[in-house]
Chains A and B, each alone.
Chain A
Amino acid sequence: MDNHVLSVNNITKRIGKKEIIKGISFRIDKGEVFGFLGPNGAGKSTTLRMIVGLLRPTSGNIAICGHSITKNFIKAMSNVGCIIEEPDLYNYATGMKNLEMLGYMSKNISRKDIMDAVELVGMEKRIGDKVSTYSRGMKQRIGLAQALLHNPKLLVLDEPTNGLDPQGIFEFREMVKDLASEKNISVLVSSHLISEIQLMCSKVSIIKDGLVVKTGAVNDLVSSSEVYWVVDNLEKGKLIMKERFKVNAKIINNRLEAVIGLNQLEMVNASLVNEGLKLKYVNSKSKTLEELFLSLTENQKIT
Chain B
Amino acid sequence: MMNQLIQNEVSKILLKKKMVLISVLLFLFIGLFSYGEKYTYDKTISRFEKITEDTSYDWKSLASQQMMELEKRLESPYIHEMGLKSIEIQIEQMKYFIENNINPITPSSARFSVDFVENAIIMFIPLMIIILASDLVSGEFSNRTIKVILTRSVPRWKVLLSKYIALLMMTTMVVLMIGAISSFVSFFFFRVWGFYEPVATGFKLINGELDANSVIMVNRMEYMVLIYSLAWFVSIAIASITFMISVLVKSTAAAIGIIMAFLIGGQFLQFFLSDWEIIKYFFVSNLNLTKYLTGAYQQIEGMSMKFSIMVLAIWSLVSIVISFVVFTRKDVLA
A contacts, CB < 8 Å to B: 15, 49, 52-56, 73-75, 77-78, 80, 82, 84-86, 88-93, 97, 101-102, 104-107, 146, 150
Contacts and interface: CB of A to CB of B under 8 A. Distances in A.
Contacts of B1: 107
Contacts of B5: 104-105
Nearest to A56: B331
B144 A88 contact: yes
Main secondary structure of the interface of B (DSSP, over half): loop
A77 B15 CA distance: 28
Contacts of B144: 85-86, 88
B148 interface: yes
Contact of B147 (A15, A80, A88): A88
Contact of B153 (A49, A55, A93, A150): A150
A82 B151 contact: yes
Interface of B: 1, 4-5, 7-8, 11-12, 15-16, 143-145, 147-155, 329, 331-333
A302 to B, nearest CB: 19
B306 to A, nearest CB: 42
A273 to B, nearest CB: 58
A86 B143 CA distance: 11
B13 to A, nearest CB: 11
A97 B11 contact: yes
Nearest to B1: A107
Contact of B151 (A80, A86, A89, A91): A80
5 contacts: A54-B151, A73-B153, A88-B145, A91-B143, A106-B153
Nearest to A92: B15
Nearest to B16: A92
Contact of A53 (B4, B7, B148, B150): B150
B15 A93 contact: yes
B155 A74 contact: yes
B7 A104 contact: yes
Contacts of B151: 52-54, 77, 80, 82, 84
Contacts of A84: 147, 151
A102 B152 contact: yes
A265 to B, nearest CB: 46
